[in-house]
Amino acid sequence: MAASAILFGAVQLDLRSVLREKTCVKHIFLFMAVLGALDVSAASQSNRPNIVLIMADDLGFADIGCYGSEIRTPNLDALAAKGLRFSQFYNTAKCHSSRVSLLTGLYCDQAGGASLSRGATIAEVLGKAGYSTSMVGKWHLSKQPTEFGFQRYWGHLSGACNFFTGDDSFRYNGEKYNVPKVLNGRPFYTTHAMGDFALKFLDEATAMENPFLLYVAFNAPHYPLHAPEADVEKCAGRYDGGWDQLRATRYAKQLKSGLIPKKFALSKRPAHIPAWDSLSEKRSRVGGEAGWRCLPRWWK
């Protein structure tokens, strides 16, 4: 599974509107891409940037509103409008290897793979330069983040987990964390919990004088594709037209925004994917009291 990420650049922003609507935090450098080398040791204390690095796991680049999606992502769209959007970005087509490159700036094998035995993480480098370093979310590499430069950590070490119940790999600053049924007044849900802990670490970091790195690695939208029922219901009927129509609609938006030059035609649907219109009603729509659910033919 690929881990997708996009650079939006350095902007002044209300970061909490991305993680949750709260008070304004300014002068945050938000990156959603592999960071290049930073000469932080030579910069003065006041000039060194704060860095928030967000990974969306297995996200298609066209799943964000400013990249042509029908999915509403207003806060990310606002960031993109004030910063930079990459039109060419690569990953290593696997979860763990993409995050190795994201954390080290090296190809996965160069860094020693999941062991990170031949590559320093950005947290290790920035920590030595006086940064406070925190991480929230999915690790999916060897050992724990607290053994690779992150001073604070909450999340799961596994490659994926049930979004509503978690698993036994959750850790909080190196110690086992028992997933509660309720967190901060609402039923436990990994994406919500990651946002909550990211804000907690952000509050702690901004209370200190030294600059900070906050790395937020969401499990979503990586499988098992769990979403609260209320959120699913909001999208009822949105995808009834099928994947062929969706691709065409997104492509048209990308052309209009200038993201894709008009000389590049929409790629052909892969041969092993059937045309949506060729699917029977039974195979293209699975229904019940919970509402219609679209499933590919090979799932039946």
Return the active site residues: 95, 140
- 161: Cβ–Cβ under 8 A, 6 or more apart, which residues? 167, 169, 190, 219
241-272 b/e (C-beta count within 10 Å ≥ 16 → b): ebeeebbeebbebbeeeebbeeeeeeeeeeee
Q: Compute the C-alpha angle 25/28/32, nearest 5°.
A: 125
